Amino acid sequence: MKWTTALATLEQVGERCAHVAAQPVGIIRLQVSEAWVFGPLLGPVRAEVDDVDGVRVALVTDAAAADLAWGTQPTGAGQWLAASGLEKRPVRLVLRPGDGPVGNHAVDRPVRFWSREDGLDHDVLRALRAGDGEHLRPEPPTAEEAQRQLAAELTVSLAAVRRTSADHAAHRWAPGNPLKRSDALAAAVAGYLDLLDARDAAGAPGLGGGGSVGP
């Protein structure tokens, strides 16, 4: 994907967020209040970015941190994605809780480019087009801050693995399509393993209560 196309796609993400936010209260259960860009589009300018992973956006939702483990989707996410049309766009979306930090080990020092209150931030978009996103990024967290956050996310993630595993087992032979529960379990496990990898890479063994996921 060309750089200019990627930035146009990013702007469309903000426009689609605004479209869903403008719907009457109660129509869309999940609410998204902010959109933050991270990854290659923060610069410098390059001829192309990856078609699948080049446009990366973190969406801040009204879900609580305890209910939104890393890599999972909160209740109502499918409806929001369908209403926005972004599930069919070449964008990597991650959903973040409204009562926790946007950035983490993967969403590295993101920059907000859309909010429900103010709409698109055209100053940010201009800087991104010029490849100057780096100077907009917040300061990185200290090692201690990063470890505390990683430990907190591991705790939430492990709880999600146990919860979705129990739900999957309890409904294993229930009528209907089992894919929804299987997908939820797979997402929770993938998110937990990603956090464990981040913990190991940071050299901080023992965060999150260890690696056991059994009941």
Q: What pLDDT, on the 0 to 100 scale, is given for residue 208?
A: 41
Per-residue pLDDT tens over the stretch 172-211: 877 777 788 899 999 999 999 999 999 999 876 554 444 4
Per-residue pLDDT tens over the stretch 85-136: 999 999 999 999 999 999 999 999 999 999 999 999 999 999 999 999 999 9
- Cα–Cα distances (Å) from 165 to 5, 168, 181, 182, 193, in that order, read 40, 5, 9, 9, 15
The reply to whether the predicted model has a pTM over 0.75 is: yes
> What is the distance between the alpha carbons of residues 84 and 5, in angstroms, rounded to a whole number?
19
Per-residue pLDDT tens over the stretch 35-89: 999 999 999 999 999 999 999 999 999 999 999 999 999 999 999 999 999 999 9
Helices assigned H by DSSP within 106-177: 122-129, 143-170
> What is the distance between the alpha carbons of residues 96 and 63, in angstroms, rounded to a whole number?
8
Structure tokens at 145: 């801050």
